[in-house]
Amino acid sequence: TNKKPAQASITKVKQFEGSTSFVRRTQWMLEQLRQVNGIDPNKDSPEFDLIFENAFDQWVASTASEKCTFFQVLHHTCQQYLTDKKPEFINCQSKIMGAIDSASAIKE
pLDDT digits (tens, 9 = 90+) for 43-66: 889 999 999 999 999 999 989 999
Residue 28: what pLDDT?
Answer: 96
Q: In DSSP terms, which residues pair with 51 in a beta bridge?
A: 35, 56
Q: Strand order of the sheet with strand 47-52? A: 55-60, 47-52, 33-37, 88-90
How far is Cα 61 from Cα 69, in angstroms, rounded to an integer?
A: 10
Contact call for residues 73 and 96 (beta carbons, < 8 A): no
Task: Report the pLDDT value the prediction gives residue 106, as an integer from 0 to 100.
Answer: 47
pLDDT for position 105: 52
Phi, psi of 80 (to 5 degrees): -75, -40
* Angstrom distance (rounded) from CA 71 to CA 101: 12
Domain ranges of the chain: 31-105
Reported as a pLDDT band with limits 50, 70 and 90, residue 9 is very high
pLDDT at residue 73, as a whole number? 93
**Which pLDDT score is estimated for 37?**
97
Q: Which residue has the higher pLDDT, 92 or 21?
A: 21
